[in-house]
Structure 1
């Protein structure tokens, strides 16, 4: 059986150890001969890599391991690039959240002005990773789950249309895990879902079990009372602000009770509520820096010091196993049904054919085959037209170095109240992102 070689781009991420543990836990389904970590921040990656090397030696010593900041070394002889980069790290995320909040506008890492700022930082580096992959391993596939996925996906569509890049997001997966628990099912894989939208901006229209029984009535009844809050959540979404996000889904659901919503819709449909319930001095970036960031790095240092992972509290990122499902679908032509971000091309018939939409696809060795959605209702179509225009204008602004287009993108965002406020936020974001964004004229 063929064994695969992978590189994790963003090797210094706090998510990398959990992903490595998840890959090691799935070697029977997806055998690996080589794991490489690649990052442009050597000091940060060295700590994560030091621990990962020990984890791999203990569990699968036959796997070759390497951590590098040299693109040629990283991208030569690989089958898959697993990309989860965060350009500007948490320091820039904090500014993405706090600058809009100053103006009483949603401060969130993928939605509204913060997501736009992050997108402008991410486009160039993602394109650079694709180019490294194509130069050094032209047959490889990139599985990209770097945020903000919607803007990144639109940029790859425009700038590298023939590249073997699959854009995927874990948020619907996290919500489907909760749905399975609400229904008392073993796993989200017991659900067959119909879903459509843009990334972080979508709706479930039909959910059935393997026998074809309609599970929507039971889910709707639960969500109408509790949102997606459950007793036993997941290990990733534990900060207090996440609890609020899952609870608020109850109100988002009430706006369109024919569907079940993605939690991120709260930022667009209830921006005033979000701002009122935000701490302008201490945002989610601060929660992560004081929580996950400190925890993962201290655990990694402990493993390095002890030369052993015994008693380590690092855990398998179960919820990332969709990455293995996706890699297997490509490698073994499994024809698995998965939610991916793909060019619409008529799958949603009354929507822009060039929009990057998040819909179920059948995935095999040639990539994804989108499942036809048909026509969508006016409410969703209107929201999606507005949001996809924001995403397209951001990519225009990046390509053209256009201040005007970026101002238009911010003005059009449903989270921003006026062109005046959009301009104030934009000017401050330009200052904060010096060296990360292209020069805007």
Structure 2
């Protein structure tokens, strides 16, 4: 079985190698193929993988190429983990917005829209390549903004592509742990978009235990998302929010903290990962950089002097590589799995999963995965402020998709102006102008 990683020189690729080489893994990959447009990054990651392989009884065979067609041909699974524009693009995604007084973040708000604009043409090219030369393959999309990119790829690949993120299932596991149960003992209701969703029930033996967690301050404080958003606010919501909702519910605080920091997240990663790629890459330097990277994740969401920080169990238990491995295992004959995935709103026969959103919208909901495919669960109705936020963000995303297809700056302007984190159509126009002038991929995507 062949697994191809698009973006095979990415920093987190060794984690995937570890997951698929684990002797406890129920899925056996025969070939892990790394594709990247930058051969030097592949070489760096292969050096780390070579060190890892020395510690393993049966490491997966690794190949690499800078030829996209060669990487995709014969693949059973394709992971899309591309970063168009590299870390330099990410820094501009953040900085352009911050300089205009707007949230600057990689996937949320205008930074995410700029990232999407330059990425969508390449995501569609990959989807067409898979359709034409590896139609049997499943595509698992990690590329951010994951819901939006998955939606574009579904136009070409349909149900053969899904998007994954480890934050929703991590939230469910944290809540389950606090409830004193194991994940296999609970059922749950989660609904939203990628990086915008809520865990609304956690049921054990027919009884929803989530209200008990919300009502118990000591237990609620053990859940990082509740600490980040504030215990009182989480109780007012009556649900546990995805950690990325920090940027929507506490926008002012987020902008203030990011602007007050010595460097943005993108600048921090550029420095840390630059040291890794620019020196003599090896397992020790990679492990050290990985620890620093994970421990500092979403640092702006925590108060200065917060003694909790990130729970080490949250950092190490079940990252995105484990979610992907569970998904592949279930699709290829292993035990069925329940996970939270990005799927089409029309993926079930009958009514849409979220009736208020378009049929072609990608939503994030619980799914059962088995050899017959991915089966979304019907979710409870969503209404009020949660629904309003989902509708507004999805409308902005779909305008970006149209802008990309039609190469329309006007549609892109509307997408920026319609996003809930952009408070002025004038600022929206300035954002778009700056992104086009400073990031070549954005200008090219819109015909510039």
TM-score by length of 2: 0.84
Query: Could you say what secondary structure the match of 1:380 adopts?
Result: helix
Q: Does 1:217 align with 2:214?
A: no
Query: Could you say what secondary structure the match of 1:383 adopts?
Result: helix
What corresponds to 2:248 in structure 1?
268
Cα distance in 1 for residues equivalent to 2:341 and 2:162: 7
Runs of 4+ in 1 over 6 A off after TM superposition: 223-226, 311-317
Find the partner of 1:154 among 131, 151, 169.
151
- Correspondence 1:351-390 to 2 at 5 A: 351-390=357-396
Shift of 1:49: 1.6
Q: 1:253 touches 1:260 (CA, 8 Å); kept in 2?
A: no
What corresponds to 1:438 in structure 2?
445
Q: Does 1:96 align with 2:89?
A: no
What corresponds to 2:175 in structure 1?
179
Shift of 1:213: 4.3
What corresponds to 2:329 in structure 1?
328
RMSD: 2.9
Q: 1:150 touches 1:356 (CA, 8 Å); kept in 2?
A: yes
Query: Could you say what secondary structure the match of 2:375 adopts?
Result: strand
Cα distance in 1 for residues equivalent to 2:289 and 2:104: 31
Find the partner of 1:145 among 132, 142, 145.
142
Shift of 1:132: 2.6
What corresponds to 2:84 in structure 1?
87
Shift of 1:57: 5.4
Q: 1:38 touches 1:67 (CA, 8 Å); kept in 2?
A: yes
Shift of 1:286: 2.1
Q: Does 1:250 align with 2:256?
A: no
Q: 2:27 touches 2:334 (CA, 8 Å); kept in 1?
A: no
Q: 2:356 touches 2:391 (CA, 8 Å); kept in 1?
A: no
Cα distance in 2 for residues equivalent to 1:115 and 1:313: 24
Cα distance in 2 for residues equivalent to 1:188 and 1:26: 22
1:31-50 Cα deviation digits (max 9, x unpaired) = 12111111111111111022
- Correspondence 1:340-419 to 2 at 5 A: 340-345=341-346, 346-419=352-425
Distance 1:403 1:227, change over 3 A: farther
Gaps of 5+ in 1: 231-244
More off after superposition, 31-40 vs 277-286? 277-286
Cα distance in 2 for residues equivalent to 1:228 and 1:171: 16
TM-score by length of 1: 0.85
Distance 1:312 1:112, change over 3 A: closer
What corresponds to 1:198 in structure 2?
193
Q: 2:41 touches 2:277 (CA, 8 Å); kept in 1?
A: no
Query: Could you say what secondary structure the match of 1:13 adopts?
Result: coil
Shift of 1:380: 1.6
Gaps of 5+ in 2: 292-315, 347-351
Shift of 1:376: 1.5
More off after superposition, 131-140 vs 50-59? 50-59
1:143-194 Cα deviation digits (max 9, x unpaired) = 1111101210221233x15362111111112323433443354x54554221
Distance 1:394 1:9, change over 3 A: same
Q: How many residue pairs are counted as aligned between the two chains?
A: 416
Distance 1:312 1:250, change over 3 A: closer
Cα distance in 2 for residues equivalent to 1:252 and 1:112: 25
